[in-house]
Amino acid sequence: MSIGLTTLVLAFALLALARVPIAVSMLVSGFAYLAVTGQDLGIVTDQVMNSLYGSYVLLAVPMFILAANIMTAGSIAERLWKAADAVVGWLPGGLGHVTVLTSMLFSSMSGSALADAAGPNLIALKMMRDIGGFRAGFATALTAAAAVIAPIIPPSVPMILYALNSGASVGALFLGGIVPGLMLGFALMIGLALMAKRRNLPKGTRLPCKELGPLLGRAVIPMSIPVVLLGGIWTGVFTPTEAAAVAAAYALFLGVVVYRAISWNSFWTAITESMRTSSSVMLLIAGAYIMNYAITAERLDRDLAAWIEAAGFGQIGFLLSINLIFLLLGCLVDTGTLILVFVPMLLPTVRLLGIDPVHFGVLMTVNIMIGLVTPPFGMLLFTLSKLGDVPLREVIGEIWVFIGILVLVLLVITFVPGTVLWLPRLFGF
């Protein structure tokens, strides 16, 4: 290991241990690498301003974040929850099924697991505890597992970040995430149905048709959002980046004009929260680009590809290894960091082994999302534990069965690439 790379790794490790924000840790580590190797610090400006912030695709990230926050403020999440309750609330463990179905519906609009968790899933968590009588730890663990689906079913902020680094088509990635996202949701519902009998989970009552219709009617317009977005992308009416702006504008129109549920205060809150989140993401991407420059300069990506070729790894062996590594890293390292730093390092190997970049991108996204609910540091566990005022140890005790379900689906996606690639190929990608 060279002096420059040693400096980079040590600086990043020390700053991370000192609890310096990850984005700042990466930027400072990158500066340290450039200084030790005697390179012009102006490379930072060139990499970030020209290579990164000139990216048209990247504009989609703040727009989807804004759209998710406006949807939460505009009563859209509540409408989706009530519609899901009317459809599946009567099943054994009914409100648990409602949580999963609501997450699947909202995921097709938000693209963010944290937005899903803090919006409709927080409503579902409170309903499961207050009305359904679910134990707090079990309800929180199920809510966290359901939020994993949000970045898998399009639109997806992590997939946009992957496309930014890999050159893969955003439209193909979005299409590729639909079947795996549905598989994750239905697998959680099947697992919940099996647990419902053993745990004697409560269920609601089936609504008569005359009551079912109005509840579903209130959710028809919100459920048209993904149809508009994905239909526009795949028919070429607008690009994925423009779709993000359409989503934000559509959500604002519904919340202000149609439902009259957004006040000036709630709108300003959505704007400021979106600015804060977007700034964090952009700073993270900037730090990752500098670290990527160091990785490329040190030829780590080519060395890794050469080592795997010499070791005789096949596609399945490599993907299983990546699954294990990212399941471990996902509970320790930020989602954006994993995608932005490791994707450029792994892409030469992906190409060498003939793995489809769309399959690899969706597989990586699922891996990293499962990491968000994996103890001890899964971000969704901390978020929902705090929002729901539930002791973290109770959530950790209940999450393992849901992690097992999610990992089983991950293995199916790994061994059967068609689960990801069928829809993109059907649409000509």
- Cα 236 to Cα 425: distance, rounded to the nearest angstrom: 16
- Cα 151 to Cα 174: distance, rounded to the nearest angstrom: 10
Predicted TM-score of the model (pTM): 0.75
Residues 6 or more apart whose CB falls under 8 angstroms from that of 35 comprise 41
- In the prediction, which pLDDT does 162 show? 86
Residues 6 or more apart whose CB falls under 8 angstroms from that of 115 comprise 65, 68, 69, 72, 150
- In the prediction, which pLDDT does 216 show? 67
- Cα 130 to Cα 125: distance, rounded to the nearest angstrom: 9
- Range with the poorest average pLDDT among 171-180, 295-304, 333-342, 379-388: 295-304
The predicted-structure confidence for 161-194, as pLDDT tens digits, reads as follows 888 778 888 888 988 998 999 999 999 988 888 8
Give percent of the chain with pLDDT exceeding 70. Answer: 72
- In the prediction, which pLDDT does 52 show? 60
| Residue 264: Cβ-neighbour burial (10 angstroms; 0-12, 13-18, 19+) | exposed
- pLDDT band of residue 79 (cuts 50, 70, 90) is confident
CB atoms within 10 A of CB 1: 10
- Cα 140 to Cα 399: distance, rounded to the nearest angstrom: 9
- Cα 71 to Cα 38: distance, rounded to the nearest angstrom: 49
92 sits in the region (left: phi over 0; alpha: psi -120 to 50; else beta) called beta
In the three-class reduction of DSSP (H, G, I as helix; E, B as strand; rest coil), residue 21 is classed as coil
Residues 6 or more apart whose CB falls under 8 angstroms from that of 349 comprise 301, 304, 305, 308, 318
The predicted-structure confidence for 263-295, as pLDDT tens digits, reads as follows 888 888 888 877 887 777 777 777 767 776 776
* Chain position carrying tokens 């423009």: 242
What length is written for the chain? Answer: 429
Highest mean pLDDT among 48-57, 271-280, 324-333 belongs to: 271-280
Nearest to 424 by CA among 61, 163, 45, 170: 170
- 403, 409 Cβ separation under 8 angstroms: no
Preceding omega of 424 cis (within 30 degrees of 0): no
Statement: residue 116 has pLDDT above 60: no
- Cα 146 to Cα 99: distance, rounded to the nearest angstrom: 7
